A and B are shown apart, each in its own frame.
Chain A
């Protein structure tokens, strides 16, 4: 079974090599993308790469199909290119894959009721922290002003301060 698949793979690669040799100087691309997968049209190929980087290789751990050399990733890469050649827009291709494999295939989760917290938490946290600091600093400045105007030293405090200062002077 394995050797049979391997032979098919060899055939595919061989055909790919033939295609490439006919297309010398075609678009360059790499990562896990095999030479035979690439599209002749550099614009389409660039779009395929951009879409692939956002799609998860479903059987891998945290790898995009653009990075993974798993057979499933290859199938998905070919699928993406097939849809693009058929004239689909980027959004169409993504929608097609989500319909087939679910939201799990997207490395950048879509904004929805399920991902509300995920997307809003970072900016909200930052805003909350800045707001809290701003209120605190205003409060602090108020107390600054307050203490400047009201709290002259009592005679007792002044005496203690003198004592401490003279102690410091002696030390120096």
Chain B
């Protein structure tokens, strides 16, 4: 019964969506406020309906109702509760429902919190947002319905892929989708602006909080996915340039560029046309990612051709929205007025450089991801584009970005003074050199480029500190003055400093762990020892154990350093009951200098085991840095000026006297 209710709510949501497209759009064109006022309540009703249907599906998973095909195919009664809940989005149909849930949630949030938007503009934004959610509701109902029943009902389900039964991965999709789908806000605002043919700095202020929210969620989502890969996949790799990863990374790169160009637009009214295009492209990349992951085209072009129904529908959605948006852009962009002028060496110029490098990087990832598919489709030739390609093309684009970052933040708007910025950064430059030299002296092995990369990361972090010093006149003014200035700095400034420092920290982590990772593998008898990176491991033996829905073999290791016991580690190998599949659970010792990563391999005769041990220096900085970036974004979002809905109030205040003067 509850399932049918959910199914019915989903169909209703489709119709509400259709109303939310037509009436407000018609009303906005006719200037009829009654029709435009339909948009906001419709958006909220649509969200409530999708939420009801989502909860109905969740109820079926929680109560293990195997008469629902989706639950039967993806769940099992013996699964821990957290994975029953996460199982809702651990499959194609459920994850698409989550996608639409978040899409309508953003629509409802605009309806609820953006009452300061001009009525016609809000009506158009919500109509565009509804066209997206309606298209995907149609997709779910036609090709991926999670509410189909089985008759007779099976007694037991087929279980969730064990590799997905992990706390970080359970909550990875909601974050990722909030990021992906959150960029739909920027898209809807861009289309609405093109539609109205009017765009100004206020647009950037309206869009910024939503884009920032999406960006924060995507940053956390990608970091969680990478963290999961690190400890699950058995040797500590944290990024594989896998098409699925690329699908989330491309919108992140474009979204990062969008956040920066929106700043220029907000402060200086420049780059307006470009920012609109970037908003369209960012969400287009999100849609592209959804297509890549959900159509099955990645597994093989042939698998896609065999059962193309889903893929074709998503492709059609993709073509309509991306094609339509770009056509509208080509048609209307010329009618938008170009904004303020600036010299190449200026804050705007630096942000343009940021945009050039980030969008080129996003394009590179896109080409590398799609090229094998396109080539096979056109010529039938099969090639692979793997990590070595991306390392060669992507990394060189990031180096100038990191070098320029501290300069850009110190340049003035309109016309900057590069020499003055360089003088202020001299201290950071020498400090970074010192860090590089110190690293070289400390490790004395590995590629010579690695200390340079560490120095580059340090340059960005110290550069952020210098910028704080310049803004607060630290050491240049009396302490009380510095303190006053520090407390007067807006939160968005602190957010930016923090996010930039996070970038440097990530760079340090990547450089260190890529250059100085060490590894060893041995076959050990109980009592046997091995050593790596100054640690000695003693294998105490392995014993079977039983988990809630798996059988495991747990290895016992004592870790010592210079004869002192550090800890005991217990890596294990699990074999799940349903489906019968094995996973490895690495045991990780987290130390200041890096992670000691122990994996229990296959059993050999007589209680011997293959044991793999890795040392990943400073690897945690990658995720700590990413979290600091997200934290910076969050801090910036709480800035009074940028809070959701604050923009238009501020705008009204600032434009009122001008109007009076005219």
Contacts and interface: CB of A to CB of B under 8 A. Distances in A.
Interface of A: 10, 13-14, 16-17, 20, 28-35, 53-54, 56, 61-64, 67, 69, 102-109, 114-115, 117-118, 121-122, 125-126, 129-130, 133, 137, 140-141, 143-144, 163-164, 166-168, 171
A162 B519 CA distance: 74
B240 A62 contact: yes
A137 B364 CA distance: 25
A55 B645 CA distance: 53
B659 to A, nearest CB: 10
Nearest to B349: A137
A122 B364 contact: yes
A61 B368 CA distance: 15
Interface of B: 234-235, 237, 240-243, 298-299, 341, 343-344, 349, 352, 356-357, 359-360, 363-364, 367-368, 371, 375, 379, 381-389, 392-393, 397, 518-523, 532, 602, 604-605, 608, 610, 612-614, 657-658, 660-662
Contact of A122 (B349, B384, B397, B604): B397
A63 B383 CA distance: 14
30 contacts: A28-B520, A31-B519, A32-B235, A56-B386, A62-B241, A62-B386, A63-B240, A67-B235, A69-B234, A103-B381, A107-B384, A107-B385, A107-B387, A114-B381, A115-B371, A115-B383, A118-B389, A122-B397, A125-B364, A129-B356, A133-B352, A137-B344, A137-B349, A143-B341, A163-B662, A164-B658, A166-B661, A167-B658, A167-B661, A171-B657
Contact of B360 (A14, A114, A125): A125
Contacts of A166: 661
A118 B371 contact: yes
A108 B604 contact: no
A126 B604 CA distance: 53
Rank and list the top 4 A-B pairs by shortest CB-CB distance, nearest first.
A167-B661, A107-B386, A108-B388, A30-B519
A137 B341 CA distance: 9
Contacts of B360: 122, 125-126, 129
B595 to A, nearest CB: 15
Contacts of A114: 375, 379, 381, 383
Contact of B388 (A35, A61, A107, A143): A107
A30 B397 contact: no
A91 B520 CA distance: 27
B242 A163 contact: no
Nearest to B370: A118
B386 A168 contact: no
B299 A61 contact: yes
Nearest to A165: B661
A77 B484 CA distance: 64
B608 A117 contact: no
A160 to B, nearest CB: 8
Given A13-B523, A107-B388, A109-B385, A122 B367 contact: yes
A103 B382 contact: yes
B662 to A, nearest CB: 8
Given A107-B384, A109-B385, A164-B658, A67 B237 contact: yes
Nearest to A112: B383
Nearest to A102: B382
Given A28-B521, A122-B363, A14 B605 contact: yes
Contact of B608 (A17, A29, A54, A163): A17
Nearest to A140: B341
Among A10, A117, A129, A140, the one with the most B-chain Cβ atoms within 10 Å of its Cβ is: A129
Given A17-B608, A130-B356, A62 B243 contact: yes
A168 B523 contact: no
A54 B388 contact: yes
Residue of A54, A62, A115, A163 most packed against chain B (CB within 10 A)? A62
B520 A30 contact: yes
Nearest to A9: B602
A164 B661 contact: yes
Contacts of A106: 383-384
A108 B363 contact: no
Contacts of B364: 121-122, 125
Contacts of B298: 61
Contacts of A163: 661-662
A129 B243 CA distance: 26
B522 A35 contact: yes
B333 to A, nearest CB: 15
A100 B375 CA distance: 20
A29 B243 contact: no
Contacts of A31: 235, 519, 612
A20 B523 contact: yes
Contacts of A10: 604-605
Given A14-B604, A56-B386, 16 more contacts: A20-B523, A29-B521, A34-B610, A62-B240, A103-B384, A104-B383, A108-B392, A114-B381, A118-B371, A118-B385, A121-B367, A130-B356, A137-B343, A164-B658, A167-B657, A167-B658
Contacts of B359: 129
